[in-house]
Structure 1
Amino acid sequence: MQSSFQNLNHSLEQKALEEINKLKNLLQKEGYLVDEPTKKQYNYEVDISKGKNRLKLLVYFGKKGLKTVLQGNVNSEFYKQIDSVLNFKFNFQDDELSEPEAYIGSDESGKGDFFGPLVVAAFAYNKEVGKNLSDLNIQDSKEISDDEIRKISFEFNKRYKDRISVIEIHPKKYNELYEKFRNLNSILIWAHSKAIEELQNKFHYSQIVIDKFCSEDLIREELNKKLADYDLMLTEKAERFKGVAIASIIARSKMLSWFKKKSAELKINIPMGASDKVNDVASHIKNKCGNDVLSELIKLHFKNFKTI
């Protein structure tokens, strides 16, 4: 009897660890800083931060199963942002009627990673394309394993390469742009509008769908310089639209390729995110290869750079 209880408890503990790691990865892909899970007597927990904002996420394991708790000031904007990310559920079928017939969707990857490029991808989507891709698991890249992302992205490129536009800003160029703009959103606006412009010149789709990352006025100001005729839909969690989900998968796939390539070149497993583990690897690269090599792998404005 005791053995059965211990097995059950161990199983719940393992599920709690898997759950908190899943949530950690989700938050990191949204650009938040999340440390590695710490095990307590009855739960696993992580600290979530962005700037001066801090929250704690806990996943309890016990007789009643798993319980997720977000600790912090429930009235703060930061708490509301994190709560929205953790509780949002994607349902493409509910949005099928409101999804435009033909549009350009864009999304990005890498803005929350100390190492690696910032990648913005855009995809020219229509209903016919959607039918031809129905055999693929198209959803937000944060909900798909890395192996599946690679496979799906390969199929996108094989079937519809002409409908894809990618702006890949490697660390050296990224740091130059950040020095110029002094603002991540300005870089994102420039990259999104450039990718969208390339596809609109080919397909002349007026509808544009972008996952919201800043005010609409700022994006329109840049799009007005490039596009004569467009209808912008700027919305949170835009990956519920298949065209944006496809863009998110393509962008994420490019990120994974960069990390795999650089890890092989340096013979060091370069991690994503911005955790303490990332700092340790950056310090190791600095000591082994020098500052010049490290500076071409990282985003210099991250607080991680000051830490190392």
Structure 2
Amino acid sequence: MSNYVIQADQQLLDALRAHYEGALSDRLPAGALFAVKRPDVVITAYRSGKVLFQGKAAEQEAAKWISGASASNETADHQPSALAAHQLGSLSAIGSDEVGTGDYFGPIVVAAAYVDRPHIAKIAALGVKDSKQLNDEAIKRIAPAIMETVPHAVTVLDNPQYNRWQRSGMPQTKMKALLHNRTLVKLVDAIAPAEPEAIIIDEFLKRDSYFRYLSDEDRIIRERVHCLPKAESVHVSVAAASIIARYVFLEEMEQLSRAVGLLLPKGAGAIVDEAAARIIRARGEEMLETCAKLHFANTKKALAIAKRRK
């Protein structure tokens, strides 16, 4: 269980009590001013000003309240001192996000974008938001403008390499961790000597697990790294990275479609099964190695469809 501690003054203690008024507990530990009990977090405020956050949502709740005073993470994770979301949003930051993990056809693409303080408003004015909220036409319109404005880096894990990693026993979460770190290495080097005040990864697993997956990497970006859920709402750099990643993914899908002679659908639904079956019948099962994530259930379904229609 994650434990986060902040040191609060009286004004912050009053704000905490008011915010969580509906979840205040009648049972108080020794020395406590008040306690909050929710399914995902327990918060205990002590007379000393110490406020302890415990539970699955400890990191997220603590991050709402820390204003740059005193903070510590009492887990072995060594998460950097949390910052309130509005504070992170105003910093010069690198954001990192990935696309393609749930698509049967196409690669995984990770992108990172560096948006410094002077460019935050300009990037936001482009209509930047999480790529999942934008259609393909909007992505193709907005992404080039972002890419011309801010430093960025992209890593593409093509399908043959994906399938080799997967057959070796590597989980997709580790693949994503490796891709994010390698993309961050490229961008950190590209913007040097400038240094980001924060590096924000759209959370796909907890920070300690993320770094465990990187233990064998030659170089690991560790400083000021935050793994946050819905990070595109925290800093515009993550939303920008999401759009760049989606744009590159769409380009990769177009190239793969030309290579296999069939417009490849996105996702992993029934239309994907039909498209894979057509590829098997026209080009052979081995063609899927070049354009699909073979361990998805779609492969088995497509083989059955292709067999029935021989």
TM range (shorter): 0.5 to 0.7
Partner residue of 1:127 out of 117, 120, 138: 117
Specify the alignment match of 1:199 in structure 2: 187
- Confirm whether residue 188 of structure 1 aligns to residue 176 of structure 2: yes
Q: Which moved more, 1:110-119 or 1:286-295?
A: 286-295
Aligned partners of 1:268, 1:178: CA distance in 2, in Å?
25
Tell whether the 8 Å contact from 2:143 to 2:243 is kept in structure 1 after alignment. Answer: yes
SS in structure 2 at match of 1:226: coil
CA RMSD of aligned residues (A): 2.2
Specify the alignment match of 2:203 in structure 1: 212
Task: Report runs of 4+ in structure 1 exceeding 3 Å deviation.
Answer: 94-98, 264-267
Aligned partners of 2:288, 2:220: CA distance in 1, in Å?
38
- Confirm whether residue 114 of structure 1 aligns to residue 104 of structure 2: yes
Question: Partner amino acid for 1:259?
Answer: M
Specify the alignment match of 2:35 in structure 1: none
1:173-221 deviation digits (Å, cap 9, x = unpaired): 1111222343000100000011111122233325210111112112234
SS in structure 2 at match of 1:111: coil
SS in structure 2 at match of 1:108: strand
For structure 1, the 5+ residue unaligned runs are: 1-74, 76-93
Return closer, same or farther for 1:165/1:287 CA change in 2, 3 Å cut-off: same
Tell whether the 8 Å contact from 1:279 to 1:307 is kept in structure 2 after alignment. Answer: yes
- Confirm whether residue 226 of structure 1 aligns to residue 197 of structure 2: no
SS in structure 1 at match of 2:127: coil
Tell whether the 8 Å contact from 1:103 to 1:207 is kept in structure 2 after alignment. Answer: yes
Partner residue of 1:292 out of 278, 286, 290: 286
Residues 76-115 of structure 1 aligned to structure 2 (within 5 Å): 95-115=85-105
Specify the alignment match of 1:304 in structure 2: 298
Aligned partners of 1:291, 1:118: CA distance in 2, in Å?
21
Sequence identity (%): 28
Aligned partners of 1:216, 1:197: CA distance in 2, in Å?
17
Specify the alignment match of 1:244 in structure 2: 238
Q: Which moved more, 1:261-270 or 1:183-192?
A: 261-270
What's the CA shift for 1:261?
2.4
Q: Which moved more, 1:106-115 or 1:214-223?
A: 214-223
What's the CA shift for 1:102?
1.3
For structure 2, the 5+ residue unaligned runs are: 1-38, 40-83, 303-310
Tell whether the 8 Å contact from 1:181 to 1:187 is kept in structure 2 after alignment. Answer: no
Tell whether the 8 Å contact from 2:108 to 2:157 is kept in structure 1 after alignment. Answer: yes
Q: TM-score, normalised to structure 2's length?
A: 0.64
Tell whether the 8 Å contact from 2:159 to 2:292 is kept in structure 1 after alignment. Answer: yes
Specify the alignment match of 1:255 in structure 2: 249
Greater Cα radius of gyration, structure 1 or 2: 2
1:254-294 deviation digits (Å, cap 9, x = unpaired): 11112222223444221000001100100001100112222
Q: TM-score, normalised to structure 1's length?
A: 0.64
Tell whether the 8 Å contact from 2:207 to 2:226 is kept in structure 1 after alignment. Answer: no
Count of paired positions:
214
Aligned partners of 1:277, 1:106: CA distance in 2, in Å?
30
Tell whether the 8 Å contact from 2:107 to 2:249 is kept in structure 1 after alignment. Answer: yes
Question: Partner amino acid for 1:188?
Answer: K
